[in-house]
Amino acid sequence: MADEPKSPSPAVEPSQPRQTEAGTSEQPEVDAPGNDGESTVETVDPLEVDISSDSGFAEDDVGSETTSITSSLLRGHIENGRKGPSDDQQFETMDAGHLFYLLMESGHDNLLFRSPLKSPKHILDIGTGTGTFAVDVADKFPDATVYGVDLYPPPTPWVPPNCFLQVEDVLHDWSWSHKFDLVHMRLMLGAFTNNEWDALYRTIYENLEPGGWLEQVELDVRVMSDDGTLAKDSFLAGWGDNFLGCSKRSGRPLSTQETMAGRMAEAGFVNLNDHLFKCPLGSWPRDRRLKEAGRVNFHHWSSGLDGWAMWLLTKHGAPKPWSADEVRVYVAKVRQELKQKGLHIYHLT
Average pLDDT over every residue of 333-347: 96
pLDDT for 280 beyond 60 = yes
| Distance from C-alpha of 146 to C-alpha of 122, rounded to nearest angstrom | 6
Does residue 17 have a cis bond before it (omega within 30 degrees)?
no
- Does residue 31 surpass a pLDDT of 90? no
Three-state DSSP state, 54? coil
- Confidence tier at 45 by pLDDT (50, 70, 90): low
Of the chain, the end-to-end C-alpha distance in Å amounts to 34
Domains and CATH numbers, the chain: 19-25+45-348 (3.40.50.150)
Each residue of 54-94: pLDDT tens digit? 544 444 443 333 222 223 223 333 445 434 445 678 888 99
Region 93-120: mean pLDDT is 93
Q: What's residue 107's pLDDT?
A: 83
Judge whether residue 202 has pLDDT over 60. yes
Give residue 91's pLDDT: 86
On the question of pLDDT at 100 being above 60, the answer is yes
pLDDT at 327 over 90: yes
3-state secondary structure of 133: helix
Question: Considering the chain, what percentage of its residues have pLDDT values greater than 90?
Answer: 69
pLDDT, the chain, mean: 82
Q: Answer for the pair 306, 246: CB distance below 8 angstroms, yes or no.
A: no
Cα 304 to Cα 308: distance, rounded to the nearest angstrom: 6
pLDDT in tens, 115-138: 999 999 999 999 999 999 999 999
Give the ranges where the chain is alpha helix by DSSP (H): 59-62, 88-104, 132-140, 194-206, 235-250, 256-267, 288-316, 324-338
φ, ψ at 191 (rounded to 5°): -80, -30
Average pLDDT over residues 260-280: 94
102-114 burial code (b ≥16 CB/10 A, e <16): bbbbeeeeeebbb
- Over 90: is that where the pLDDT of 220 sits? yes
